[in-house]
């Protein structure tokens, strides 16, 4: 008999919200709910990520900022009139955010649709595919923020910032991560299967951006016919802005607005496309 009581409570405890209330609540805050579950699910790898997120910047700054930096500064040819460490720091923050975005937006997206089917679980709830897409991008955005914040702290510890506004590199890096990540998410969500595409993306998009989009030297050092790599790359726009924030690199207001507009443009287009791709992928 206690069993029947238990079952009745299971089926109708009287404490569950009515379906209409559930639907209203999810309609209003579904994206935040999904971001929260993304964060809960991330606890399986959060610790290892945090360790990497501290160790990686230290390694980069030691090797490039000090090692290579001493060489560059010794020749008196440091770009931007600041020590090389100060120059390269904000570039590295942006570049690592974009590499994180590549990681989060390729295999995990394919896994969500196909291998682990994790997007299909919320699909059976009142969440819409568009909310799932936004929540997914929101969750990954949280990762970029955490990672960039840790990098910025290391940067400050290395004495590699020159401005009271240097903390702005965190939102700039996160926005750059989103600009790239949203576009890649939309791309991954449209793939039926992963053959070689993600590896190609790594080799032919992420690596060139890392090498040729102003992270290690100003774009102007490259021959003119390669400048377009920077122009179309979110990394260059993010890096230029991050340098203004980090050490007050000189830039006109319209130029700043232009860089910001490009990043926002990528982010908005990528997000809208992701929402559409999630909708069609989860509705068949």
Partner 1 sequence: MMSPVPDSDAIITARGLTKVYGQVRAVDGIDFDIAAGESFGLLGPNGAGKSTTMRMIGGTLGRTGGTLGVAGLDPEADGPRVRAHLGVVPQQDNLDEELSVRDNLYIYGRYFGLSRAYLREKIPDLLEFAQLTEKSRAKVDDLSGGMKRRLTIARALINEPRILLLDEPTTGLDPQARHTLWDKLFRLKEVGVTLVVTTHFMDEAEQLCDRLIVVDHGRIQAEGSPRELIARHSTREVVEVRFGADRNAEVEPRVRDLAERVEVLPDRLLLYSDHGEGVLEALAERGLHPVTSLVRRSSLEDVFLHLTGRSLVD
Binding residues (CB under 8 A) for partner 1: these are 3-4, 6-13, 15-17, 19-20, 22-23, 25-27, 29-30, 33-34, 36-37, 40-41, 44, 116-118, 120-128, 282-284
The 8-class DSSP code of residue 83 comes to -
Smallest gap from residue 36 Cβ to partner 1 (A) = 6
Q: How far is CA 94 from CA 110, 120, 122, 188, in A?
A: 25, 32, 32, 22
Which residues have CB under 8 Å from 112's CB, separation 6+? 118, 119, 136
Smallest gap from residue 140 Cβ to partner 1 (A) = 16
Nearer to partner 1, 106 or 149 (CB): 106
Nearer to partner 1, 116 or 203 (CB): 116
Smallest gap from residue 69 Cβ to partner 1 (A) = 40
Reference 239, options 212, 269, 221; nearest CA is: 212
CA 186 to the chain's CA centroid: 14
Nearer to partner 1, 7 or 62 (CB): 7
Nearer to partner 1, 143 or 243 (CB): 143
Nearer to partner 1, 34 or 60 (CB): 34
HSE-CB for 19 with a 13 A CA cutoff: 3
Place of tokens 């679980």: 121
Nearer to partner 1, 135 or 238 (CB): 135
The 8-class DSSP code of residue 18 comes to P
Could you report how far apart the first and last alpha carbons of the chain are, in Å?
44
Smallest gap from residue 21 Cβ to partner 1 (A) = 8
Smallest gap from residue 123 Cβ to partner 1 (A) = 6
Smallest gap from residue 177 Cβ to partner 1 (A) = 23
Smallest gap from residue 126 Cβ to partner 1 (A) = 4
- Could you tell me if 2 and 103 are in contact, meaning their C-beta atoms sit under 8 angstroms apart? no
| CB atoms inside a 10 Å sphere around CB 226 | 13
Nearer to partner 1, 40 or 157 (CB): 40
C-alpha–C-alpha distance, residues 213 and 84, integer Å:
16
- The phi, psi pair for 252, rounded to 5°, reads -75, 155
């Amino acid at each position: 008999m206690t069993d029947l009581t238990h079952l009745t409570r299971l089926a109708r405890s009287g404490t569950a919200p009515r379906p209409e209330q559930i639907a209203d609540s999810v309609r209003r805050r579904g994206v935040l709910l999904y971001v929260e579950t993304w964060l809960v699910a991330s606890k399986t790898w959060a610790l290892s990520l945090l360790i990497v997120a501290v160790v990686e910047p230290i390694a980069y700054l030691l090797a490039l900022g000090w090692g290579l930096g001493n060489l560059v500064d010794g020749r008196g040819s440091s770009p931007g009139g600041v020590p090389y460490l100060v120059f390269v720091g904000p570039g590295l923050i942006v570049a690592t955010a974009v590499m994180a975005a590549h990681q989060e937006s390729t295999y995990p997206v394919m896994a969500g649709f196909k291998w682990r089917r994790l997007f299909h679980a919320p699909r059976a709830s009142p969440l819409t595919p568009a909310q799932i897409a936004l929540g997914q991008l929101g969750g990954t955005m949280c990762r970029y923020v955490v990672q960039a914040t840790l990098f910025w702290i290391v940067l400050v510890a290395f004495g590699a910032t020159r401005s009271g506004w240097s903390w702005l590199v965190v939102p700039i890096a996160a926005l750059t991560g989103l600009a790239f990540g949203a576009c890649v998410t939309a791309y991954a969500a449209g793939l039926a299967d992963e053959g070689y595409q993600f590896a190609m993306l790594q080799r032919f998009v992420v690596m060139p951006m890392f090498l040729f989009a102003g992270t290690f030297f100003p774009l102007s050092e490259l021959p003119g016919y390669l400048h377009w790599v920077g122009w179309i790359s979110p990394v260059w726009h993010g890096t230029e802005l991050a340098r203004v924030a980090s050490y007050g690199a000189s830039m006109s207001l319209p130029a700043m607005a232009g860089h910001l507009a490009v990043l926002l443009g990528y982010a908005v287009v990528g997000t809208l496309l992701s929402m559409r791709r999630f909708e069609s992928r989860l509705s068949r």
